[in-house]
Amino acid sequence: MNLTLMGLNKIKEDYLAAQTVLARRIIVCAGTGCIVNGSMKVYEEFVRCIKDSGLNAVVELKKEKEEDGVFVSKSGCQGFCQIGPLVTILPENILYTKVRPDDVQDIVETTLIRGELLNRILYVDPDTKKPCKNQSEIPFYRKQQRFVLANCGVIDPEDLREYVAHGGYVSAAKACLEMTPLEVCKRIGDAGVRGRGGGGFPTGKKWEMALQTESDKKYVICNGDEGDPGAFMDMGVMEGNPHSVVEGLIIAARAIGADEGYVYVRAEYPLAVKRIRKAIQDAYKAGMLGRQIFGSSYNFDLHVMEGAGAFVCGEETAMIASIEGRRGMPSPKPPFPSQRGLWGKPTVINNVETLSNIPLVLAAGLDQYRSLGTHKSPGTKTFAVTGHVANTGLIEMPFGSTLREIVFHVAGGMTSDDGKPMNDGFKAVQIGGPSGGCLTRDHLDLPLDFDSLKQVGAMIGSGGLVVMNKNTCMVSVARFFMRFTQEESCGKCVLCREGTKQMLSLLDDIIEGRATEETLTILEDLAIAVQKGSLCGLGKTAPNPVLSTLRYFRDEYEAHVKHKYCPTGKCKKLTKFWIDENLCRGCTLCVTKCAIGAIIGEKGQPHKINQMLCRKCGTCIEVCKFQAIKGGKS
């Protein structure tokens, strides 16, 4: 073993030695979701209460051994965002949920001093009604297989030494000191790693193409420009384990012969930007970045570039233009970035999750990595689960898992619009954000992998999963995503710029009652044209939500067009409000509240709504004390 690997091992031994003499460790989730809910106040209160109780509160592990005490640390996102702030207590491995500053004193007295559980802030299994002591007892965690997220929510994301203590930078050191670039490419190719940004292109093949391209200068770029509505997978990794991204970039750079790289992060992720910057700064100080990294003859410099939040900059060539200081607009391919990219030099671009996989793949070995997932889609995938489900948050599942497993086991089943449990309420899942498509009840047992989804006209995308119940209007869903992509279109090519605008206009006609049967034909034809003729991935995938909802929910479109009603009652212009005469008491409250005088009737007598005047604002429904006013498709 060479000196550099011995040095990493020494960092690991010193860190673990300093930690083992501590009586307990408290890990407070400091991901964005928990911070918004007050976790930093919880952290500060732990430090104060521990000191006031006469215990030694340790907030930073130093090289020398600490005296007996309680180590209070922060972590990145622990995944189960909706029950945060989350607090883990080691070595008992207790997980407390929805912790508030007022709970901290009780935790210190009950758990730290008396060694007892504080049951009122334990998670309660909704099925068994039993409190769960730790993650292994909570269904949300128990069904997952955390690989990339294994250290997120455990380690302090701003402490390089703890990352090293968990095996960090060993893979990068070995890649730089013991492997040739071609060997690195082959190892990743043999593992079957595919890009987690959406397309699923083989990572090893992409790297080998760049390696084989002759050039005096090459670049690597981390794509952290996550912009899908409801998606926060990359943010979770950058906030919770930023050194894994840095290490993945070092290995990628070694594989293609690059000596410079960029982490492109949208500015709307300030915490991710902060932690990535600190990780890079600490890696420079430790000799893992800069000149002769890990004591080798290899040089590698890394920079952070903050994007302005344009969705199109997630496309490779648009991102390159943005880094170069030009407007973020895509360019035709070929040439591909691996042939001619940043400043005309060969460039490899991988997204955050892909790069975080790389050190783990080299450390685990091919057999262990390929034991996860499927033959053509090995490994795991992170998903951001949102929508009408009991449990929302950041999860990680092996490729090949089914929607049924995710929705009904990990996510805890369907809920109504007001969050109450809803039996048999599943309608659809939008997977892959604006670039993806809809999956229905017929797809609940479809394996989620790159190839299976492609066969049904969908794609994994970056990993967003928006779950929808039976009360969701699928036409409105298609319009939501079309509006997003239309606003985010850079405008360079006519089909995307004008085609998405016209598709949005046609969807407006449908949900506002102006459409004819010909509208559906025009919408479908236009969607196919935009899909085939657009320049970049944004335009080519923009019609996906429309085409997939037309394919699986055409009856809803036809109801809007032919019968002028919304089956779910969600489209205001197609909703009829009426008064149930058997329930109306003639109190006239609705009459006085209606701003346009659309409700008529004498006091003490059932009222009626003038449909020609009614604007369907819903005020009458809100004020009626007898629930006599109805709104829906009737």
DSSP state of 437: E
Min mean pLDDT across 170-174, 194-198, 222-226, 353-357 is at 194-198
Per the domain annotation, does 152 fall within a domain?
A: no
In a domain, 142, yes or no: no
Question: Based on the domain organization, do 600 and 545 belong to the same domain?
Answer: no
Give the Cα separation of 559 and 247 in Å (integer).
53
Domain final residue pick, 329, 350, 369:
369
- Average pLDDT of the chain, as a whole number: 93
Last residue of a domain, one of 416, 437, 472: 472
> Which among 243, 240, 278 has a CA at the least distance from the CA of 81?
240
User: What spatial distance separates the first Cα and last Cα of the chain, rounded to whole Å?
Assistant: 77
Lowest model confidence (mean pLDDT) among 11-20, 135-144, 279-288, 383-392 = 11-20
For residues 362 and 392, membership in a common domain is answered with no
Q: Are residues 468 and 490 in the same domain?
A: no
Residues 406 and 358 in one domain: no
pLDDT higher than 80, residue 113: yes
For residue 579, give both structure tokens. Answer: 């008064």
What's the CATH number where 88 sits?
3.40.30.10
Model confidence, pTM: 0.90
Instruction: Identify whether the C-beta of residue 239 lies closer than 8 Å to the C-beta of residue 157.
Output: yes
What CATH number is attached to the domain comprising 495?
1.20.1440.230
Is residue 76 included in any domain, yes or no?
yes
What CATH code is carried by the domain that includes residue 608?
3.30.70.20
Confidence of residue 63 (pLDDT cuts 50, 70, 90): low
Higher pLDDT, 62 or 429: 429
Q: How far apart are CA 542 and CA 548, in angstroms?
A: 11
β-bridge mates for residue 389, sequence order: 414
Judged against a pLDDT cut of 80, whether residue 64 lies above it is answered with no
Number of domains the chain contains: 5
Instruction: Indicate whether 604 pLDDT > 50.
Output: yes
Element housing 332 (H / E): none
Closest C-alpha among 398, 394, 366 to residue 380: 398
> Do residues 423 and 555 share a domain?
no
**Torsion angle in degrees (nearest 10) through CA of 366, 370, 376, 380:** -120
The answer to whether residue 2 scores a pLDDT higher than 60 is no
Last residue of a domain, one of 85, 101, 135: 135
pLDDT at 632 over 80: no
34-57: b (≥16 Cβ within 10 Å) or e:
bbebebbebbebbbebbeeeebeb
CB atoms under 10 Å from CB of 287, counted, come to 14
Distance of CA 633 to the CA centre of its chain: 35
Q: How many other CB atoms sit within 10 Å of the CB of residue 291? A: 12
Do residues 285 and 433 share a domain?
Answer: no
**pLDDT value of residue 463:** 87
For residue 145, tell me if it sits in a domain: no
State residue 1's pLDDT score: 43
pLDDT at 66 over 80: no
> Is 140 a domain residue?
no
Strands across the sheet containing 219-224: 301-307, 260-266, 219-224, 347-351
Domain shared by 330 and 213, yes or no: yes
Predicted confidence (pLDDT) per residue in 517-553, tens digit = 999 999 999 999 999 999 888 899 999 999 999 999 9
Regarding beta strands 301-307 and 260-266, do their DSSP bridges make them parallel or antiparallel, or are they unpaired?
Answer: parallel
Any idea what the CATH number is for the domain that residue 389 is in? 3.10.20.600
Q: What tokens appear for 269 in the block? A: 């992720």
pLDDT score at 377: 95
Domain that holds residue 495: 475-562
Decide if 5 is inside a domain: no
36 with 114, same domain: the answer is yes
Question: Are 358 and 394 found together in one domain?
Answer: no
Asked if the model's pLDDT at residue 501 lies above 50, the reply is yes
Residues 483 and 512 in one domain: yes
Lowest-confidence region among 65-69, 375-379, 547-551, 625-629: 65-69
Q: How confident is the model at residue 195 (pLDDT cuts 50, 70, 90)?
A: very high
| Residue 3 pLDDT greater than 60, yes or no | no
Asked whether residue 568 is domain-assigned, the answer is no
Whether 504 and 458 map to the same domain: the answer is: no
Determine the 3-state secondary structure of 598 from DSSP. Answer: coil
Question: Does some domain include residue 555?
Answer: yes
Q: Is 513 a residue whose pLDDT tops 50?
A: yes
In this prediction, what percent of the chain has a pLDDT beyond 90? 79
122-162, pLDDT tens digit by residue? 999 999 999 999 999 999 999 899 999 999 999 999 999 99
- Which is nearest to 104 in space by CA: 49, 28, 36? 49
116 and 196 in a single domain? The answer is no
For residues 76 and 97, give the distance between their C-alpha atoms in angstroms, rounded to a whole number. Answer: 15
Digit-coded pLDDT (tens) for 300-327: 999 999 998 888 998 999 999 999 999 9
pLDDT of residue 634: 44
Residue 203 belongs to domain with CATH number? 3.40.50.11540
